Amino acid sequence: MIHKDVIIIGGGAAGFFAAINIAEQNPSLKVTLLERGKEGLAKVKVSGGGRCNVTHAEFIPQELVQNYPRGEKELLGPFHQFMTGDTIEWFEKRGVELKVEEDGRMFPVTNASQTIIDCFLNEAEKHQVEVLYNHSVKSISKEKEVFHIETSQDNFSSKKVLLATGSNPKIWKLIEYLGHTISQPVPSLFTFNIKDERIQDIPGVVAQNVEVKILETDLWSEGPLLITHWGMSAPSILKLSAFGALELAKRNYKFQIEINFIKKSFEDCLAILKTLKRDLAKKTVFKSTQFELPKRLWHKLVLASNMDEETRWADLNKSQLESLASQLTQAVFNVDGKSTFKEEFVTAGGVNLKEVNFKTFESKFIKNLYFAGEVLNIDAVTGGFNFQNAWTGAFVAAKSISQESPL
């Protein structure tokens, strides 16, 4: 049995961040990180297309929490302890400068996730964190004040354990054995599969600012919409998939969405179209794209409104005008299934949030057992928010863990 002061299970974003901060804040503690893979930080490596979307430029806790379909209430306190500004400062102090992109996402100026990985590996080495790879955890138990951890290679004991294992069903099972409840995992960030003539053969087309509603629910979102080979994606859809994760799972991913491509009311749109009928009388509707829509999308919506490529504005009757206004402001699409991102796969589900003390990220049931990152039932929309949850949870837990001297 190998004894350590602190054991962290999971060598991802939260695990490394916690290990480094514990060792830095209390150098007298022997900190060991157990990672099941040959190397750690796999999600960090592939996130943001290999650039690592470290966080998001949102500096007000009350605003930041609104990006978490699960965890909104619980993260408000922790964000007052450590949030975006602290993340930026933490990396800058260690030689990693971050930049903000137009949509608020933040990346290392190098545009390479390796910068973040190197920073973590260097800091872990500098603060004498022992990182053990190929250690898959088989069991976790606690006797009196001591945890016993059996891995594929060794047996360890420790007074304090932090679980930063992400969405790992095997570990969730072990956590259940310890007495916690797990909210069942369902996919959270996914794109919508849609077969529809109106979006066929135009993959890559982006409508910059749309409003999307899921019919028969209160779910709606706005933002860019991307048409793909299999349906629709981009922030407006991914946001809905996150906030609707549980509801859409219940419906087996079969539902209807209504899209307002121009964010105007049907009536306002109709009035504008009537003016265009007069002003552009001799032109064909097909060739005179309006409302700053992508040409290829305008063509599809025109053809779906009982017109052909030769129909002129002057010839439009009342029903065609109404049909086009309807396609532009209240187009209904049938969604049948979802596609998930392999690299950026996020799940709703994890340790029940009522069972965790968010002042310290410690279990309310088991003293000295801590959680950070996606192992908890916390998930966010896309844009760097899932990482910010990892940094915050890991930092707050590290602060609590490092306050005690070793056994």
Query: Do 100 and 216 have their domain in common?
Result: no
341, pLDDT greater than 80: no
Q: Are 157 and 4 in contact (CB under 8 A)?
A: yes
Query: Mind listing the pLDDT tens digit for each residue in 290-312?
Result: 999 999 999 999 999 999 999 99
Backbone angles phi, psi at 388, to 5 degrees: -60, -35
Query: Do 233 and 262 have their domain in common?
Result: yes
Q: Which domain holds residue 276?
A: 190-340
Q: How far apart are the C-alpha atoms of 245 and 268, rounded to whole Å?
A: 33
pLDDT band at 344 (very low <50, low <70, confident <90, very high): low
Query: Do 172 and 197 have their domain in common?
Result: no
342, pLDDT greater than 70: no
Query: Do 199 and 118 have their domain in common?
Result: no
Q: Are 9 and 162 in contact (CB under 8 A)?
A: yes
Both tokens of 349, joined, read 């589900």
Query: Do 167 and 130 have their domain in common?
Result: yes
244, pLDDT greater than 90: yes
Query: Mind listing the pLDDT tens digit for each residue in 163-210?
Result: 999 999 999 999 999 999 999 989 899 999 999 999 999 999 999 999
pLDDT band at 340 (very low <50, low <70, confident <90, very high): confident
Query: Do 111 and 254 have their domain in common?
Result: no
Which of 292, 324, 340 marks a domain boundary?
340
264, pLDDT greater than 80: yes
**How high is the pLDDT of residue 346?**
79
5 sits in which H/E element: strand 2-9
Would you put residue 185 in left (φ > 0), alpha (ψ -120 to 50) or beta? beta
Mean pLDDT of the chain: 96
Query: Do 160 and 212 have their domain in common?
Result: no
350, pLDDT greater than 60: yes
110, pLDDT greater than 70: yes
Domain-embedded: residue 407:
no
What is the number of other CB atoms lying within 10 angstroms of the CB of residue 224? 15
4, pLDDT greater than 80: yes
Domain-embedded: residue 406:
no
- C-alpha distances in angstroms, 328 versus 210, 261, 290, 322? 10, 5, 10, 10
Q: How many domains does the chain have?
A: 2
Which of 340, 362, 385 marks a domain boundary?
340
Query: Do 152 and 233 have their domain in common?
Result: no
Query: Do 96 and 201 have their domain in common?
Result: no
Residue 95, classified by CB atoms within 10 Å of its CB into exposed (0-12), middle (13-18) or buried (19+), is exposed
- CATH number where 141 lies: 3.50.50.60
Query: Do 200 and 178 have their domain in common?
Result: no
Query: Do 52 and 153 have their domain in common?
Result: yes
